[in-house]
Amino acid sequence: MRVHRRITVCALVVLGGASTALMVLRDGGDTKLSTSLEADLGQIRARPTISRIDLSGIPVRRPLAAYGALWTIVEDRASGSRPLYRVDAHTGAISRVPFGRVKPQYLTAGLGAIWVAGCPHEEPTTNCSDGTVYRVDPATARITDRVEVGSNITSLAADDTAVWVGKWTYVNNVPQPGSLLRLDPQTLALRRYSLRALRTKRRPPCCIRMLAAGQGAVWVLFGDDSRLVRLDPKTGVLAQLDAYGSEVSMGEGAVWVEGRTTRLPSPAVEGTLRIDPASGQVLSIGPVAASITAGNGVVWVAETSRDTNDRILKLTRLDPATGQQTGQPIWVEAGPPRIDFAGLPFGWRVQVAHASGVLWITVPDSYEAIRITAA
């Protein structure tokens, strides 16, 4: 996708490292300046302010916006460490969550806590035999509980009843579908759900790619095709749906998948799928996105340029009822690259998060978190 710098509709443009905002409205060929942004950030209707936070490392995995802060795992290539940072939503101040030698791997928020999956020692891969899920108090950023879940953690999610842990397994060096673990937040008891029913003769069935939870189900992007699978926690029944994607998010009464309705290769149109959690049917297809965040009353998607010379991010708000664009997009230019990901476009693994009227974007190659708030 090529994002053009010339804007012919009402839009917010934020370029370079300065906190500069210009809104251009073209109406019947006349250009006017506007002082309000109809496409608000949930609670933001005034002209936004853009600030950039230097993370001094590569933001990895999916960040969280919750409990008045951005929570993101950052990889320090120089030291080999992988700390979890808390970035205050109002001040931008960064604090490091004290984890000792633990290497955080996955994050989720819910049930009054931040939940972190990681290895309690310096283990370079997910094959940590004593992988552990930690509960972190968001007010103090201190670990309050922990439970060992074993090796090969692949993902983490939470709903209003439990924390869900995705795992994979090997048998005789052959990948297996793995399992889901339900972690009770009160007792820390674990319940295992097997994914063996997802085995296929077509290719080795590996693995859980991403999780989301809500509306009485767990939503799994599974296998080499990243097919969306619905788990009913009450019955353990797995339902494979006609959606395939790279990212899944749950919120605002729908499941949101960046992907398509058929396996690759296919002529299917790719975009942001809005899926009915009750029927599993695709209700609408919105714009193509690199990242999706749903919840707190809004849905935002981030779109990036595939041109390695163009570092423009397009942020679009979607109407939760239709899955289509509402208001005008926000355009932001990412900072200069500080690392080369072997020719991959800068948008590789760009992530978006939103909570309490603050929109966040993490950009791996520029080591930054971009914060968009009310002026």
Q: What is the CATH number of the domain that holds 98?
A: 2.130.10.10
- Whether 362 is in a domain gets the answer yes
* Overall average pLDDT of the 119-138 stretch: 83
Q: Which residue has 């990212």 as its token pair? A: 247
> What confidence score (pLDDT) does residue 31 get?
26
Percent of the chain scored above 70 by pLDDT?
81
Instruction: Identify the band that residue 44 occupies on the pLDDT scale cut at 50, 70 and 90.
Output: very low
Domain holding 358, by residue range, is 31-373
Instruction: Identify the band that residue 48 occupies on the pLDDT scale cut at 50, 70 and 90.
Output: confident
Instruction: Identify the band that residue 280 occupies on the pLDDT scale cut at 50, 70 and 90.
Output: very high
pLDDT in tens, 158-179: 999 999 999 987 777 776 778 9
Give which of 355, 360, 356, 357 is closest to 371, Cα–Cα. Answer: 360
> What confidence score (pLDDT) does residue 125 get?
55
Number of domains, the chain: 1
- Whether 25 is in a domain gets the answer no
- Whether 1 is in a domain gets the answer no
- Whether 122 is in a domain gets the answer yes
- Whether 16 is in a domain gets the answer no
Give which of 119, 118, 116, 14 is closest to 66, Cα–Cα. Answer: 116
State yes or no: pLDDT of 24 exceeds 60. no
- Whether 3 is in a domain gets the answer no
CA angle 83, 208, 289 (to 5 degrees): 75
Q: Cα separations (Å) of 71 from 13, 66, 141, 152, 316?
A: 26, 8, 10, 23, 22
Question: What is the SS3 assignment for 198?
Answer: helix
pLDDT in tens, 76-109: 988 888 999 999 999 999 999 999 888 899 999 9
- Whether 9 is in a domain gets the answer no
CA angle 39, 253, 235 (to 5 degrees): 155
Is 55 or 198 the better-scoring residue by pLDDT?
55
Is 1 or 307 the better-scoring residue by pLDDT?
307
- Whether 314 is in a domain gets the answer yes
Question: Do 42 and 357 contact (CB within 8 A), yes or no?
Answer: yes
* Overall average pLDDT of the 12-23 stretch: 39
Could you please report the per-residue DSSP string of 213-243? EETTEEEEEETTTTEEEEE-TTT--EEEEEE
Detail the DSSP E strand segments found in 34-98. 48-54, 58-66, 69-75, 84-88, 94-96
Mean pLDDT score across all residues of the chain:
84
pLDDT in tens, 190-246: 999 998 888 766 655 678 899 999 999 999 999 888 999 999 999 999 999 999 999
